[in-house]
Amino acid sequence: MELKDKVVVVTGGTAGVGYAAAEAFARAGARTAVISRDAERVRRTVAALQAVGGDVHGFALDVSDSAAVQRAAEEIETRLGPIEVWVNNAMTTVFGRFADMKPEEFERVTANTYLGTVWGTHAALTHMLPRNRGTIVQVGSALAHQSIPLQSAYCGAKHAVRGFTNAVRCELVRQKSAVRLTMVQLSAFNTPQFDWARSYLEYNPRPLAPVFAPEIAARAILRAATQPRREYWVGWPAMKTIIGSRLLPRLADAMAARQAFDGQMSDEPSPPRDGNLFTPVPRAPGAEGRFGAETRATSAQWWITSHRLAAAVAAAAGVLVLLWAVGTV
């Protein structure tokens, strides 16, 4: 699908993967609507992306408010035109043991990360189904397949998004609808969430290594929007985690217990912090977090996924060269 002049909505589009995706859609010529609950960061995001030539519009609202999401969709349709792509990316998390969490914290993560996706999907389908076209992209995680310690609410929400998405996809298949529903399951990315999420840890949270640049995720989201399929896995860690959880679930749990506990903590001591769970934390818009020194700008796994023909040709050429070498020995 050609993105130029198409209307694309990105929730959570003022920071991290959402910002990178919004910028990528804008650069591709899409009329991009950015949704976030932080009105000031929405304003600054729109200004920054318009400065690079993007046709970008901002909408300040909390995606856990179903009525507000529906109103935003109506306004986008009225102001910008038919919504062709809706990207559900907004999320919050809490770093800490489940036993330390308060009920209202678990509820808030669930409302933002899971129900925000549900309401976004419903708003998009309200407009896409009558036209029988459109694509909804759910930004997921390897944690939608394999949970890890210290993020129980987030893992639960991402699992719920995957189950919900599969159910709705079955309904679309039953209806023979041309609307497409796809998920992008990510590895760990260098985003600001580790600086502003609520935390009960004794050390500053960090992404599980290896860490990738948000632009890789943005390219995957664009591909999912233009060439949708059931799921895209982005990064070797996501691929390894998902396959491991399917084939050897008990081993996957044991490895998560052993590696993902300390692996989510930096060596920087930090007292518990409130973070952005209930209210936004002031911060400039942008995709990058503070882990640039270790961030990988490329992913061989994603290159192979997005260049299957070239990868197959290269593999075949390698086999031929090997056979020729063996034949000349």
Catalytic residue among 19, 154, 200, 203: 154
203 among known catalytic residues: no
Q: Structure tokens of 29?
A: 């010529």
3-state secondary structure (DSSP) of residue 139: strand
Task: Identify the CA nearest to 213 among candidates 233, 228, 239, 235.
Answer: 235
- DSSP assignment string, 225-278: HHS--SEEEESHHHHHHHHHHHH-HHHHHHHHHHHTTGGGEEEEE---B-TTSS
| Cα angle, residue 30 at apex, residues 22 and 46 outer, rounded to 5° | 45
Total H helices, total E strands in the chain: 12, 14
Please write down the HEC assignment for all residues of 27-80: HCCCEEEEEECCHHHHHHHHHHHHHCCCEEEEEECCCCCHHHHHHHHHHHHHHC
Beta bridge pairs of residue 36: 60
Q: Structure tokens of 309?
A: 């023909």
Assess contact for 206 and 292: CB atoms under 8 A: no
Chain centre distance of CA 18: 7
Q: Which helix (H) or strand (E) holds 167?
A: helix 152-175
Task: Identify the CA nearest to 184 among candidates 139, 229, 121, 136.
Answer: 139
Cis previous bond, 210, omega within 30: yes
| Residues with catalytic roles | 154
